Structure 1
Amino acid sequence: MEWEKLLCSERLGDKHYEPKPNRSIFVQDHDRIVFSAPFRRLANKTQVQPLYEHDHVHHRLIHSVEVSSVGRSLAMRIGNWLEETHRIADGESNSLANIVQAACVAHDIGNPPFGHSGEAAMGDWFAEKFDDAKGVMAELEERHRLEFIEFEGNAQGFRIVTRLEMYRNEGGMRLSKATLGAFTKYPVTSADRESIVGKGTAPYVGVKKFGVFRSEIELFKEAADSLGLPQEVDQAGNWWRRHPLVFIVEAADDICYNIVDLEDAFTTGELPFDTVRDLLHEAANNPNRDVSGLNQAEHIALLRALSINVAVESCVAAFKANYDAIMTGTFSASLTDAGPMAPTFAKMNALSRDQVFTARRKTELEVSGRRVIGNVMSGVLPVFEDLAKAKWDQEKLSGHNRQLVRALDLDLRSVADAEQALHALADFTSGMTDRYAVRVARMLTGI
């Protein structure tokens, strides 16, 4: 892969756009994302702790902002090294930083309410309805059902930024192709991924999940061709090697959720002070600091900041050590796992898995959230059933279903077949905030 292509500033859906001399197109990408409604809704979406009243616990929007800050720092350090070693032109480190920052603020934009449990709840609801094979659910070919059954926030995010938001069906936000490349962690559709991986181990980190719906694959292909991403074409299925900046975006996310989740767990009382302090002290390379004047929260905050800095240095070292493999598309790990801080990250993952993600309050709310999502989707499905019976003519909806469309502000534009109907249902459900989902569920069930 070549940096000249990888930093492509051409807009998706707007080839004739000319950059302004005093404002980088990549900065514009960032601004378009942060001023969008889907980004604002992240302020009321679960990060780890669902529906928490504590002001200092992270939600998706704050998490995304922090990831973008860490990503920018990572990209600047790596960009400076690339300039010093003459791998990119002078000044291009700013472009790297701006691209990564934009991709980072968008990285969770497709996540449904209630976090990853919300993704699972949507997928399970689709699976159950496909098993019943009634109405609109029976109209979709079986080979195209997997992307709904394994609903993926990454693919929904790509759909939002390239189709749904701003210039609908005409490039979406019309972001630069470089930012789209840096955003796409899993450059493969669900059907191709299933053909390649099946039930076995993914041969490449970029096909561990799927990241593009069938409905947007041509948009991704256009971006990938301009960026020069290597495409793998064989009988099993088609997929692409990751854009090198994906690894930086992913590392920024890994750093933040590993370290900051521990701080949140201390704040909510799910982990004791001593446990979090000792692990963050190790992560920060055992700093010798006078903390006698700090309270416990201030002590944890200091160690969190020091830990993030060490983690950034670890990921920069991993990028440098694996640079050739990253540029040929053969590197198949994360920077957090490939750097000197990897053993500490493993401890953080284990602690979160065993004690934070299984906490009683979180588990109870995830069970409740699953029911909420099921009630919402079951309550809205009749609108699309009715629309299918009316041969996709919105004017022929029943009076009650027209009421539902108005009450929920359902967007039925472009819905002309079963696949588009199910995407519209997923667009609506995944776009809800946690609290709005609860309110809609109550309205639809009459509870």
Structure 2
Amino acid sequence: MIAPLGYGAQPRAPYATDPGASAGRLHREPESPTRTPYQRDRDRIIHSTAFRRLKHKTQVFVYHEGDHFRTRLTHTIEVSQIARSLARALRLDEDLAECLALAHDLGHTPFGHEGEDVMDACMAPYGGFDHNAQSLRIVTSLELRYAEFDGLNLSWETLEGLVKHNGPLVDGTGAPLGKFAGSELPFAIRAHARRQDLRLDTWPSAEAQAAAIADDIAYDAHDLDDGLRAGLLTIEQIRDVPFLADILAEVDARYPDLETPRRIHEIVRRSITRMVEDVIAESVRRIAELTPSSVEDIRQAGRPIVTFSEGMRSAEKGVKAFLFANLYRNEAVLAVRRQVSAVVRELFDAYVARPQDMPEEWRRGVGPDEPERLARRVCDFVAGMTDRFAIDEHRRLFDHTPELG
């Protein structure tokens, strides 16, 4: 019997990932006498430079627009809370779920998805750019903290969940799937696959699936919240979205005279609750069908086990479609996106043309006859920037830096 959300901790389910049976780390290290492998991974992620930078990386609103809008860091914390709640309810390893939630956005560029789109275009001659692959690159190569290895030397299960939390990346023949179908996997994933087999043709653990669905839930909720509070969305508009209209009617019936900030919060928190409870119920149903006796059964299930029901999946897509049309494509947002697009593109081009404008540690060891290696080094440097640092660097190199807003 799976206890309802909020009850005390229970023993891990047989299909949960067992930290005592971890496949280990690429570079062998002594085990900790006080922490499981996934607790150590979580701590290494929290103490990383890339994690700290999330404080000044944004998604929809750029850094100057207000202290109350989400950043990548606050979003990450919210994803972590939801992932842990799901893991607790489903008797998974909470530490691994939390670890994956904390790491999932490390590879994002400055300026949210606009930055990623520009970086993908800049790197098109060399295979493009993918923030998930960049997260893997950060934790396996770019973090330079430890004396004996590059990266954070995370556990196999953490790397597996990080790289394929949305499902298998290749089929049984090794052909790329999903958005990579007909192409090739991103450079960082291909490079790491030569060093370590992450079994890219299987589903990830239930903990990774919990972190992935938690990201969807948190993303929808906080963009709705930020959009309403910024005045780019109105409560009247959400009456056109059946899932949200139902919640709004429920809130208004119970609290007919509620002031707007509390009304918004009630809508958002009830949205999260409904989605979380749906995931738990659907996951319990799928687990009962599969009767998994090990984490390997989850990997070989052929479909996600921790996920929305069909009805909620449709409702969630409706929320996303509403946000895309009314928030992400809002002219006020698009105007800023056009400005930051130019900032990222011009920074990339400037550093490729004049690598000496980058700090010495970033240009070290790259020759003038290595265009792909130089482009990748520039990509790593620019992608790691915060919004604020990108603007400051552009202002240092150019005399036409936009005043965002």
TM range (shorter): 0.7 to 0.9
Q: CA deviation at 1:31?
A: 1.9
2:208 to 220, 238, 246: 246
Matched, 1:180 2:133: no
Which has the larger displacement, 38-47 or 240-249?
A: 240-249
The equivalent residue for 1:395 is none
Question: What RMSD in Å do the two structures reach over aligned CA positions?
Answer: 3.3
Q: One-letter code of the match for 1:330?
A: G
The equivalent residue for 2:307 is 335
The equivalent residue for 1:322 is 286
The equivalent residue for 1:426 is 379
SS in 1 for 2:146: coil
Q: CA deviation at 1:16?
A: 3.3
Alignment length (residue pairs): 370
CA deviation profile, 1:247-270 (whole Å, cap 9, x unmatched) = 211100000111221111101111
Equivalent positions of 1:37-436 (< 5 A) are 37-79=49-91, 93=92, 96-127=93-124, 130=125, 145-146=126-127, 149=128, 151-165=129-143, 166-167=145-146, 170=149, 172-185=151-164, 188=169, 196=176, 212-221=188-197, 224=198, 229=199, 239-276=201-238, 279-280=243-244, 282=246, 286=250, 290-291=254-255, 294-323=258-287, 324=290, 326-331=298-303, 335-336=307-308, 338-384=309-355, 401=356, 404-405=357-358, 408=359, 410-413=361-364, 415=366, 417-436=370-389
CA deviation profile, 1:361-381 (whole Å, cap 9, x unmatched) = 210111111110111011101
Change (3 A) 1:24 1:294: farther
CA deviation profile, 1:265-296 (whole Å, cap 9, x unmatched) = 10111111233478546358946874356421
CA contact (8 A) 1:284 1:306 kept: no
CA contact (8 A) 1:380 1:425 kept: yes
SS in 1 for 2:84: helix
Alpha-carbon separation, structure 1, partners of 2:178 and 2:160: 25
Alpha-carbon separation, structure 2, partners of 1:256 and 1:376: 31
CA deviation profile, 1:83-139 (whole Å, cap 9, x unmatched) = xxxxxxxxxx4xx11101111011111000111111110122233xx4xxxxxxxxx
CA contact (8 A) 2:123 2:375 kept: no
CA contact (8 A) 1:182 1:244 kept: no
Alpha-carbon separation, structure 2, partners of 1:25 and 1:333: 24
Change (3 A) 1:15 1:42: same
TM-score normalised by L of structure 2: 0.80
Change (3 A) 1:4 1:358: closer
Matched, 1:445 2:398: yes
Q: CA deviation at 1:415?
A: 4.3
Alpha-carbon separation, structure 1, partners of 2:161 and 2:249: 30
The equivalent residue for 1:88 is none
Alpha-carbon separation, structure 1, partners of 2:65 and 2:217: 25
Alpha-carbon separation, structure 1, partners of 2:345 and 2:259: 44
SS in 1 for 2:107: coil
Change (3 A) 1:241 1:291: same
Q: One-letter code of the match for 2:131?
A: G
Q: CA deviation at 1:5?
A: 6.7
Q: CA deviation at 1:412?
A: 3.5
Alpha-carbon separation, structure 2, partners of 1:349 and 1:432: 27
CA contact (8 A) 1:152 1:211 kept: no
CA contact (8 A) 1:162 1:219 kept: no
CA deviation profile, 1:20-51 (whole Å, cap 9, x unmatched) = 23x33322222221222111111111222233
Q: CA deviation at 1:7?
A: 7.0
Gap regions ≥5 residues in structure 1: 80-92, 131-144, 232-238, 385-400
The equivalent residue for 1:18 is 31
Alpha-carbon separation, structure 1, partners of 2:209 and 2:187: 15
Q: One-letter code of the match for 1:154?
A: N
Q: One-letter code of the match for 1:443?
A: R
Q: CA deviation at 1:161?
A: 0.9
Q: One-letter code of the match for 1:46?
A: T
SS in 1 for 2:362: coil
CA contact (8 A) 2:25 2:156 kept: yes
CA contact (8 A) 1:77 1:316 kept: yes
Alpha-carbon separation, structure 1, partners of 2:21 and 2:249: 38
TM-score normalised by L of structure 1: 0.73
CA contact (8 A) 1:276 1:300 kept: no
Alpha-carbon separation, structure 2, partners of 1:250 and 1:77: 16
Change (3 A) 1:375 1:422: same
CA contact (8 A) 1:75 1:100 kept: yes
Gap regions ≥5 residues in structure 2: 1-13, 291-296, 401-405
Q: CA deviation at 1:211?
A: 8.6
